[in-house]
Structure 1
């Protein structure tokens, strides 16, 4: 289920990054999640904003793998890499997928470290 916290991103003064959390176990809702993510990625006001996609619940057996999640979200050839990638002189938006388990407190720290390097 998606919760609208505000009407449009124009209502916000500034967005430094977007963290998009996906339930990697609920494969039946990947299409819905892709639709929501695509809407965010196509929003002109977010064109240069870094996106961190977190695939949660990897502690549950049969949760999607990182490759499977990338495929279903349409991100297979669109992520920028998990290391320090210099995107300063390009129009490429930082975008990466990290798998995590919020309950087990693992994986999301790497994602937040990654996205923090692109926040100005």
Structure 2
């Protein structure tokens, strides 16, 4: 694709593009259109929510492990105990993934 052809395609796309219901610069050159502004408020709030969820998930992991230890004592041989022992690793894996992802999002 030739450079002129590429520039024409970009200009045509820019003329049709809308951001937040505001038409793009009619000249297609950019710069003359409205400036995009982002507020840190929603991102800061989302980061705080991610940290809260990370903390709650970490606490849930501890509670789950503690509860599982308590359930094992005195219930050996019950089918439900075996089922709980079987699904514990899957819950730990899921909760750990959520906790770690929330920690990663909060850190950004």
What's the TM-score, normalizing by structure 1? 0.22
Structure showing greater Rg: 2
Question: Which structure's residues are more often strand, by fraction?
Answer: 1
What's the TM-score, normalizing by structure 2? 0.24
Compare relative contact order (CA 8 Å, sep 6+) and give the higher one, 1 or 2.
1
Question: Which structure's residues are more often helix, by fraction?
Answer: 2
